[in-house]
Amino acid sequence: MAGEDEMVIDGYQGTDTTTLPDQEFNSNYLKLYYGKLFPHSDLFKWMSYGNDGKHPGCDLSYLSRREFSYTLDNDIYVRFQSFHNASELENSIKDKCPFKIDIGPVYSVDPSKRHAYAQSGDNVFTPVERELIFDIDISDYDDVRYCCSGADVCLNCWPLMTIAIKVIHTALRDDFGFKHILWVFSGRRGVHCWVCDGKARKLTNEQRSSIADYFRVYKGNENSYKKVSLTGHVLHPFLAGAYSDVLKEFFETKLLTSQNLLSSEERFEKILEMIPDQSATAELRGKWQENRRSSKDDINVVRWEQLKQLLQSGKYKSQRLHRCVEEIVFSFTYPRLDMEVSKHMNHLLKAPFCVHPKTGRVCVPIDPNHCEEFDPTIVPTLSQLLEELNREGYTADVDGEWNKTSLGSAIRLFRSLFLQPLLEACKKEIETSYNAKLKQSKDLHSW
């Protein structure tokens, strides 16, 4: 969503921050990208949700009530754009060459005509439908990773995003029954999730907040020693499953050693501060300070096993230690969501297949069933794609030039894993609703 420091004048919005495109990113490259490679028709089909005018029961106003926003060169931000058909959407993108495309909600009326409705005095301009969305950034994990910080990411810390996908996707599918879930690489430092089932798109803000709160475990801030508090004698089934199926193994076999979480006094003190018993903390500290090296085993693994053995041995009877080992694991591995993005209908989120202006990388979909195979460092860049296209030569390919480039696999994944099953479900839902209305009408006339 637009930041609070941004100002809108006649539909144009400027920001105090400046994004300087690097050599990977410029308007000429974008013009070629939008002209030859960007999957315009796929974006239109997705945003139409079967309302394409090709069969009875379609809502012909559906797409025109969806908000699109553009970030143009020189940080010009254009909101409340709307389009009536696929060609309007494609022509607009090719003409404006936006540095970023954001997608907003479906409103009760055409957002580009909102001023006319406001002048009428009727409060009819309101969001009525929006995908349930999640935004997860690696920078929010800076207190538990030592390889990178801020927007930087490498193969040692990226698995934190993989774990987030696994945990959230499983719950959305198994606990909430959602089927049409799209995961997208943000292009730089995180992932976006779009839940597109009809029942998800129609959720109220209150219902969205409830779902977001269902995932809330991480409640600390940068000044908190203990960021997670797991209460009760047993974990909630969702949390218990996440811990046993994903978090515990990842922490103990990957994160512990890749980040050297217990390798130095400075680092192990951060974990000792999470233990709410001074006697246990003192005993571990003394043991670790005496034995600074292990000739055979990794010191991180050795110290973690010592911590678990001490806290779970029953030597210390404090009730506060009951969940301490689990709380440490959750603190370091559990998904950290931008909660406000998920709670409100009117948040904007970057469209898939945009190009990130800082990295030049395309925002490609991620297969949640094989997310551990995703490598953000080899995602195609804008210049790479255009080099591939130039090497192959331009042709009049009816399905798009992207087939000749490394973007092809991403678009095929988007279609087969997400778009095709979604459209089949949407058309079935529209037909069912239309037939039900016909039957109701016939029943009324039969009286």
> What is the percentage of the chain residues whose pLDDT exceeds 70?
86
Neighbours of 152 (CB within 10 A): 14
Establish if 60 belongs to a structural domain: yes
Residue 171 has pLDDT above 90, yes or no: yes
Listed residues 278, 305, 333: the one ending a domain? 333
Phi/psi at 415 (nearest 5 deg)?
-70, -50
pLDDT of 259 reads: 97
Same domain, 349 and 314: no
pLDDT of 293 reads: 62
Give the C-alpha distances (Å, rounded to integers) separating 216 from 234, 326, 340, 420, 435: 17, 15, 12, 32, 41
Alpha-carbon span 19 to 350, nearest angstrom: 16
pLDDT of 348 reads: 96
Per-residue tokens: 72? 């143009």
Residue 15 has pLDDT above 60, yes or no: no
The pLDDT tens digits of the residues spanning 296-330 come to 789 999 999 999 999 988 787 776 787 899 999 99
Mean pLDDT, rounded, for 140-168: 96
pLDDT of 433 reads: 84
Same domain, 182 and 47: yes
Establish if 231 belongs to a structural domain: no
- Do 361 and 355 touch, CB atoms closer than 8 A? yes
* pTM of the predicted protein model: 0.89
Mean pLDDT, rounded, for 222-245: 79
DSSP 8-class letter at 380: P
Per-residue tokens: 196? 């597109």
Establish if 166 belongs to a structural domain: no
Helices (H), 124-204: 159-174, 198-201
Same domain, 205 and 244: no
Establish if 366 belongs to a structural domain: yes
Mean pLDDT, rounded, for 402-416: 95
Known catalytic residues? 67, 135, 137
Mean pLDDT, rounded, for 85-104: 96
pLDDT of 53 reads: 83
Q: How many residues can be counted in the chain?
A: 447
Residue 137 has pLDDT above 90, yes or no: yes
- Do 209 and 186 touch, CB atoms closer than 8 A? no
Q: What is the mean pLDDT of the chain?
A: 88
Same domain, 395 and 429: yes
Same domain, 85 and 207: yes
Same domain, 75 and 187: yes
Alpha-carbon span 340 to 350, nearest angstrom: 16
> What is the percentage of the chain residues whose pLDDT exceeds 90?
71
Confidence grade of residue 116 (pLDDT, cut at 50, 70, 90): confident
Residue 140 has pLDDT above 80, yes or no: yes
Mean pLDDT, rounded, for 240-265: 96
Same domain, 351 and 293: no
Establish if 161 belongs to a structural domain: no
Number of domains in the chain: 2
Residue 1 has pLDDT above 50, yes or no: no
Q: What is the CATH number of the domain that holds 362?
A: 3.90.920.10
Alpha-carbon span 7 to 9, nearest angstrom: 7
The pLDDT tens digits of the residues spanning 187-219 come to 999 999 999 999 999 999 999 999 999 999 866
pLDDT of 397 reads: 58
Give the C-alpha distances (Å, rounded to integers) separating 103 from 25, 63, 66: 21, 12, 8
pLDDT of 315 reads: 80
Residue 9 has pLDDT above 70, yes or no: no
pLDDT of 52 reads: 87
Listed residues 316, 333, 350: the one ending a domain? 333
Alpha-carbon span 125 to 107, nearest angstrom: 7
pLDDT of 24 reads: 53
Same domain, 365 and 261: no
pLDDT of 179 reads: 98
Establish if 66 belongs to a structural domain: yes
Which residues are CB-contacts of 393 (< 8 A; sequence separation ≥ 6)?
Answer: none
Alpha-carbon span 223 to 42, nearest angstrom: 45
Mean pLDDT, rounded, for 279-294: 86
- Do 280 and 311 touch, CB atoms closer than 8 A? yes
> Domain range holding 241?
237-333
Confidence grade of residue 437 (pLDDT, cut at 50, 70, 90): confident
Establish if 148 belongs to a structural domain: no
Establish if 172 belongs to a structural domain: no
